[in-house]
Amino acid sequence: MSNVTASGHHAPIRPERDTFLADENPFEAMMARFDDAAQRLKLEPGLYKVLRSPEKQIIVSVPILRDNGEVEVYTGYRVLYNTARGPAKGGIRFDMGVTLDEVKALAAWMTWKCAVVNIPFGGSKGGVICDPSTMSNAELERMTRRYASAIIETLGPDSDVPAPDVNTNERMMAWIMDTYSMHKRHTVTAVVTGKPIEMGGSLGRREATGRGCMLVTREALKKMGRPLKGTRVAVQGFGNVGSISALLMEREGMTVVAVSDKEGGIYNPKGLNVPDVIQHLQARKTLKTYPNVEIITNEQLLALDCDVLVPAALENVITQENASRIKAKIICEGANGPTSAHADKILAEKGILVIPDILANAGGVTVSYFEWVQDRGGYFWDEETVNQRLEKIMVTSFQEVAAMADRHSVTMRIAAYMVAIDRVAKVHRLRGMYA
C-alpha cells in the first residue's frame, strides 16, 4: 500500500506496526481502508490531508444532579468530520466505552456512508461516557438535555443533525429536539432524526437498517448468480438490525439457520421460524430457552456452514484469528466495523464477498435523510413510499460500488471507499479552499 506525499510522490504509508494498530484503534482501522482507496484514486496530496482530518472535535463536561442530590460530571464528545456535501449527520451514544478515537472513527464512517449512498450529508458522531443502566429516566433526561445544550452551537438542520445510537432512543431525540427548540423559541423538528412519529419521525425508520441489509444481500446473490430460495443465513446480533434483517430475508425466501445475542445463539440446519424466535425473545429475554434447537456460541455461529453471514452486533468480531474458519460466501456487515483490517485480507483470499458496513447498513441514515426532508417540507410520506425510495437508493448504490470493484479489481469495501471519497473530493475541488 502506498500514499501520496506532500511532494506528490507515492511513498509507503504505514509500516507493519500500524497495521497492528489498525486492528486495535477504530480510527486507524478506518484510515487503513481510506489510505488504500485514496492511493488508488490518486488523490492529490492537499486533498488527502483535508479528508484525513476531522473538521471539528468538541469535548464538553456534562454536569448533572443525580436523584440522590449528588452532582456527577460526565465527559461528552461531538466530532464533525466533514461537511462539504451538506450538514453533518450522525448518532449519539451513551456508553462507558466511548472514546474520542471511536467517535472520530464513527464520524468519518458516517461521512463515507452518506457519500456512498449519495445523500447530501456530511458525517458526525457524538457520545457521553456513562453507564445508562445505572441512571433513572429523570437522570437520563437531565444528562441528554445538558449534553445537547453544551453542543448546541453546532446543532441545527443546516449544520449538524443527531440521531439515536448505542443506548439512546427516540425518547432521547425528543428531549434533544425540545431542548434545541426552546433555545430557538420555535419548534424545529428537523434538528434530529429517529424521533417519535408524532413529533415528525418517519414511517419505516425502525426497519430501515435491516431492510437495507436485506436489499444489498439480495443484490449480492443476484450478482453471484445464486437463487434467494434456500440461501442459508446466520445472523450474529439479534437486536433491531439483526432481527429485522433476518425477518425480511426469510420473507424473501432465504432460510435463517442461526441467530444469536450477547449470551450466545441457536442453530437449526433446517431453518428457524424467525417471527416465532422474535416473539420468544421478547417474552423470555433470552434465546437459550428456545425449543428444538442446538445452543451455540457466538464464535461457533461465525464459523457455521452457511451462505450469508450477517454480523449485526459489535465491532471487530471477525479478526485474523477466526477469519480463516468462516464458510459463508457473502458477509453483510449490519454492524459498524465488524471486520478487522487483517481479517479483510484473509476473507479476500478466500473469495468471500464482503458487503461493507458503509454500504450494507446505510439504510438507516438513508431513511433518516428522508425524515429530515419530510420535516423540512412539512409533508409526510406513507411507508410504501419510504420503502420504495429506500430500495431504489440501496440497489443503485450496490450497483455503483460493484461496478467500481470490477473496474479496479478491488474488494467491495475498497470500492465503497473509492466511490465515497471520490464524491467528497469532487465537492471539495468545486468549492475550492476558503482563505
Residue pLDDT, tens place only, 245-273: 999 999 999 999 999 998 999 999 999 99
For residue 21, the enclosing domain spans 2-51
Average pLDDT over every residue of 28-56? 93
**Integer Cα distance of 267 and 242 in angstroms:** 15
Is 334 among the domain residues? yes
Is 419 among the domain residues? no
Asked if 122 contacts 84 with a C-beta cutoff of 8 angstroms, the reply is yes
Asked if 314 contacts 335 with a C-beta cutoff of 8 angstroms, the reply is yes
Domain count, the chain: 3
Q: Which residue among the candidates 125, 223, 329, 345 is catalytic per the annotation?
A: 125
Band the pLDDT of 8: cuts 50, 70, 90: very low
Band the pLDDT of 39: cuts 50, 70, 90: very high
Average pLDDT over every residue of 310-329? 93
For the chain, what's the residue count?
A: 435
CATH code, domain with 181: 3.40.50.10860
- Poorest-pLDDT segment among 15-19, 133-137, 161-165: 15-19
Residue 333 confidence (pLDDT): 97
Residue 279 confidence (pLDDT): 96
Is 298 among the domain residues? yes
Residue 21 pLDDT > 80, yes or no? no
Is 81 among the domain residues? yes
Looking at 360, 384, 413, which one is the last position of a domain?
Answer: 360
305 & 163 share domain: no
Is 395 among the domain residues? no
Average pLDDT over every residue of 402-413? 97
Asked if 256 contacts 271 with a C-beta cutoff of 8 angstroms, the reply is yes
Asked if 190 contacts 224 with a C-beta cutoff of 8 angstroms, the reply is no
Asked if 372 contacts 202 with a C-beta cutoff of 8 angstroms, the reply is no
Residue 23 confidence (pLDDT): 53
DSSP 105-149: HHHHHHHHHHHHTT-S-EEEEEEE---GGGS-HHHHHHHHHHHHH
What is the per-residue pLDDT across 201-258, written as a single tens digit (0 to 9) for each? Answer: 999 999 999 999 999 999 999 999 999 999 999 999 999 999 999 999 999 999 999 9
Distances from the Cα of 261 to the Cα of 36, 183, 250, 301, 399, angstroms: 33, 41, 18, 11, 31
Is 85 among the domain residues? yes
67 & 47 share domain: no
Average pLDDT over every residue of 54-79? 98
User: Which carries the bigger pLDDT value, residue 98 or residue 22?
Assistant: 98
* Residue type, position 312, single letter: A
Residue 7 confidence (pLDDT): 36
Average pLDDT over every residue of 383-402? 98
Mean pLDDT of the chain: 93
**Residue 236: strand, helix, or coil:** strand
103 & 149 share domain: yes
157 & 95 share domain: yes
74 & 150 share domain: yes
- Cα end-to-end span (Å), the chain: 33
Residue 195 confidence (pLDDT): 97
Residue 10 pLDDT > 50, yes or no? no
227 & 356 share domain: yes
Looking at 302, 337, 360, which one is the last position of a domain?
Answer: 360
Average pLDDT over every residue of 79-99? 97
Residue 18 confidence (pLDDT): 40
Band the pLDDT of 24: cuts 50, 70, 90: low
Residue 27 confidence (pLDDT): 77
Average pLDDT over every residue of 86-105? 95
Band the pLDDT of 314: cuts 50, 70, 90: confident
Residue 336 confidence (pLDDT): 86
Residue 415 pLDDT > 90, yes or no? yes
68 & 180 share domain: yes
164 & 223 share domain: no
309 & 216 share domain: yes
Asked if 98 contacts 132 with a C-beta cutoff of 8 angstroms, the reply is no
Band the pLDDT of 5: cuts 50, 70, 90: very low
Report the percentage of the chain scoring pLDDT > 90.
88
100 & 126 share domain: yes
Can 350 be counted among the known catalytic residues?
no
Residue 16 pLDDT > 50, yes or no? no
> What sign does the CA torsion over 269, 272, 278, 283 have?
negative
Is 150 among the domain residues? yes
138 & 268 share domain: no
* 35 DSSP assignment: H
Looking at 360, 384, 409, which one is the last position of a domain?
Answer: 360
* Residue type, position 359, single letter: L
Is 288 among the domain residues? yes
CATH code, domain with 306: 3.40.50.720
**Integer Cα distance of 116 and 397 in angstroms:** 7
Residue 394, φ and ψ in degrees, nearest 5? -65, -40
136 & 257 share domain: no
Asked if 180 contacts 191 with a C-beta cutoff of 8 angstroms, the reply is yes
* Residue type, position 213, single letter: C
Band the pLDDT of 315: cuts 50, 70, 90: confident
Residue 15 pLDDT > 60, yes or no? no
